[in-house]
Structure 1
Amino acid sequence: MPEIPLVPAHWRFPAHPASVRRARCAVAESLPDVLRPRLGDDLSLLTSELVTNAIRHGACRVDEELIELVLWPADGHYWLAVSDPGTGKPALANPGTDSESGRGLILVDSLAAAWAVRPRPACGTSVIAGLSFQRSG
């Protein structure tokens, strides 16, 4: 008999800056207690960066659109997908030393075991990032 997988955690938040904190708290609280010491900080930072980017770059009408988050374990990783209604394709930037923004995906790239941008079937874009919870070595 196959092992039944866990149901992914799923949230929707308004495309508003106050949602960044709410999303970070929701994701952190859904992580199993045993994994919080290893993944909690990195998962919180990933959530903050991806939700902030979705609000800033993927939502056309702030407060009228929703940002969607899905968190699930698979293949030794916790995967976080943050989706917005935008059609743009997030990409790594090369900000100048004086720039006050443009480093979000650089942080995602350095923290995540893997990440990708995927179009959504109906409309919008998802950024998916995974953190390993397997013991190395």
Structure 2
Amino acid sequence: MPEIPLVPAHWCFPAHPASVRRARHAVAESLPDVLRPQLVYDLCLLTSELLTNAIRHGACGEGGDLVELVLWPADGHYWLAVSDPGTGKPALTHPGPDCENGRGLLLVESLATAWTVRPRPTRGTSVIAGLSVHQGG
């Protein structure tokens, strides 16, 4: 008989900046105590960056938008998917030294073992990033 996988942790938050703190807390509370503190820190940092991007760039501004967060372990990684109702495709940019924004995905690129952007089947976009449970440190 195959091993039954864990049910992913799943949350929906209002597309509002106050949700970023709530999402970080939810992720940290859902992780097992045996994970290294650096992995928990990195997952919370990824949560902040991805959720902030979803709120800023993917919410339609209609007031009732929600952003979705899913966290699950698989294949030696913790995977984080942040989804929003927007149709844009987030892209890695290299802002100049005087730019105040635009470095979120550079941070994701630096932290994540792998990441990608995927359209959702019905509406919106998901950014998925994974961190290796066995990474050095």
Q: Shared fold by TM > 0.5?
A: yes
Between the two proteins, what is the percent identity of the paired residues?
79
| Aligned equivalent of 1:57 | 57
Residues 135, 90 of structure 1: alpha-carbon distance in 2 compared, 3 angstrom cutoff: closer
Query: Following TM superposition, by how much is the alpha carbon of 1:62 offset from its aligned partner in structure 2, in angstroms?
Result: 5.5
2:96 maps to 1:96: yes
Alignment partners' CA distance in 2, 1:60 and 1:25? 25
Query: Following TM superposition, by how much is the alpha carbon of 1:63 offset from its aligned partner in structure 2, in angstroms?
Result: 3.5
Single out whichever of 60-69 and 106-115 deviates more from structure 2: 60-69
Per the normalisation by structure 2, the TM-score is 0.96
Deviation string, structure 1 residues 26-65 (Cα, Å, up to 9, x no partner): 0111111111514111001100000000000000126410
RMSD after superposition = 1.1
- Post-superposition, which runs of at least 4 consecutive aligned residues in structure 1 deviate over 3 A? none
Residues 66, 36 of structure 1: alpha-carbon distance in 2 compared, 3 angstrom cutoff: farther
Preserved contact between residue 55 and residue 62 of structure 1 (Cα < 8 Å): no
| Aligned equivalent of 1:21 | 21
Per the normalisation by structure 1, the TM-score is 0.96
Alignment partners' CA distance in 2, 1:44 and 1:11? 14
> Unaligned stretches of 5+ in structure 1?
none
Single out whichever of 33-42 and 53-62 deviates more from structure 2: 33-42
Alignment partners' CA distance in 2, 1:71 and 1:48? 13
The one-letter amino acid paired with 1:21 is R
Residues 19, 106 of structure 1: alpha-carbon distance in 2 compared, 3 angstrom cutoff: same
Alignment partners' CA distance in 1, 2:63 and 2:17? 9
Alignment partners' CA distance in 1, 2:5 and 2:97? 45
> Unaligned stretches of 5+ in structure 2?
none
Residues 108, 135 of structure 1: alpha-carbon distance in 2 compared, 3 angstrom cutoff: closer
Alignment partners' CA distance in 2, 1:129 and 1:15? 20
